[in-house]
Amino acid sequence: MEGYLQLKCGDRFKGKWLTNVPEKTIKGEIVFFTGMTGYQEVLTDPSYRGKIVVFTYPLIGNYGINEADFESKKSHVAGVVVYEAKEVSFHYEAKKSLKEYLQKWGVPMLGHIDTRAVVKKIRSIGTMPAVLSKSSEVEENEFILPAEGKVEQVTSTINKTVGMGKHHIVLLDFGSKKSIVENLVKRDCKVTTVPSNITYEAINQLKPDGILLSNGPGNPKELEYALPTIKKLIQLYPTLGISLGHQVAALALGADTVKLTSGHHGAYPIIDLDTNKVLMSSQSHSYVVDKESVKGTGLVLRYTNLHDHSVEGFIHETYPLHTVQFNPESHPGPLESNYVFDEFIETVKANNGRVYAYA
């Protein structure tokens, strides 16, 4: 059955439903993902909460869905747009097809779309509201987006501890990916995941050796309520900020964030200014730290994007803080930036459980 992708700018693309036809219009901000693989991780990454994701690679779903590569317990995207998707998976670990998985969670997939044309439009105009519908006619009010993509929709509601390692890391959950916890546990850590609205006093009672500020969806400025707590934690404990966690760390120290035209979703080359090495990184975000706004904050640029020269991470001249805009857990994506976790754990070891009051 025919279906339509319609953008707020007025462009309409006709395709074919590859899953069950949705009973109602699907709304969401449209973004595109450039990776050749990794669709399972994208679908289950809370950073994509409420998004309509266009996969640029022309063939999606050929290796199916397995039990190992989930980043959370369910899919978070509003809809999926592809050129072609295989109904039969060809991989020994596959448990179901992409279509079966999406139908389980009620996520519609529209295929036979000219994804190249869609992406060119997004690149030229920017991310925008979009709808997936059965009808070719859509009212203007359909582009008013629901309150999706909020940290409050994906954060933990209770504390949860994983691992028995010697380094206790408290992870502030803004929509954390499973692979972040796995990388810490693999490095001899005990990880306690806590809600985004936890108090500074409650974290101190947990006696952490280090703090991790996780990835997550949405505008970092909507986490204003957490900034005073984050600033105190940065001043007291070795801290690693990833993606949204990088952004809120910068906001807590007085910097500013801005929205990108089309976001970074996929693989991007960056340079580590400390080692002068170029890395391929995995990314999933729509906001970045404004480079000019960091003056006077003590933040020192460590990583830069080689496509648009945007900020990709900081260290701090005083505090034991390390932040990255990209995803060092590399799910999906290349493993080159995995050493970020090693550096963080070395800082935790050097700190040896001591708490410093820099403020």
> What value does the mean pLDDT take over residues 192-213?
97
Residues 159 and 204 in one domain: yes
* Whole-number pLDDT of residue 358: 52
- The C-alpha atoms of residue 230 and residue 249 are separated, in whole angstroms, by 7
CATH number of residue 29's parent domain: 3.50.30.20
| Domains of the chain: total | 2
- The C-alpha atoms of residue 132 and residue 58 are separated, in whole angstroms, by 19
- Asked whether residue 144 is assigned to any structural domain, the reply reads no
Residues 123 and 156 in one domain: no
Q: Where are the beta strands (DSSP E) in 273-339?
A: 277-289, 299-305, 311-316, 321-324
Residues 175 and 216 in one domain: yes
Per-residue pLDDT tens for 280-336? 999 999 999 999 999 999 999 999 999 999 999 999 999 999 999 999 997 887 889
Residue 31: domain span? 2-136
Residues 107 and 232 in one domain: no
Residues 112 and 179 in one domain: no
C-alpha separations of 178 from 2, 17, 173, 233, 242 in Å: 36, 31, 11, 23, 13
- The C-alpha atoms of residue 192 and residue 315 are separated, in whole angstroms, by 24
Averaged pLDDT score across all residues of the chain: 95
Q: Which of 136, 159, 193 is the last residue of a domain?
A: 136
Give the confidence band of 89 by pLDDT, cuts at 50, 70, 90: confident
Q: Which of 107, 136, 165 is the last residue of a domain?
A: 136
R_g of the chain, CA atoms, integer Å: 20
- The C-alpha atoms of residue 245 and residue 80 are separated, in whole angstroms, by 26
- Asked whether residue 64 is assigned to any structural domain, the reply reads yes
- Asked whether residue 159 is assigned to any structural domain, the reply reads yes
- Asked whether residue 356 is assigned to any structural domain, the reply reads no
Cα angle at 282 between 218 and 229, to 5 degrees?
A: 45
Judge whether 215 and 183 are in contact, CB under 8 Å: no
User: What pTM value is reported for the model?
Assistant: 0.95
- Asked whether residue 146 is assigned to any structural domain, the reply reads no
Residues 308 and 250 in one domain: yes
pLDDT at residue 359 tops 50: no
Q: Which of 102, 136, 170 is the last residue of a domain?
A: 136
* Whole-number pLDDT of residue 287: 98
Residues 191 and 96 in one domain: no
Judge whether 110 and 81 are in contact, CB under 8 Å: yes
Per-residue pLDDT tens for 92-137? 999 999 999 999 999 999 999 999 999 999 999 999 999 999 988 8
CATH number of residue 161's parent domain: 3.40.50.880
- Asked whether residue 287 is assigned to any structural domain, the reply reads yes
Which of 63, 56, 51 minimizes the C-alpha distance to 95? 63
Q: CA neighbours within 13 Å on the CB side: how many for 87?
A: 4
Residues 155 and 67 in one domain: no
Residues 233 and 189 in one domain: yes
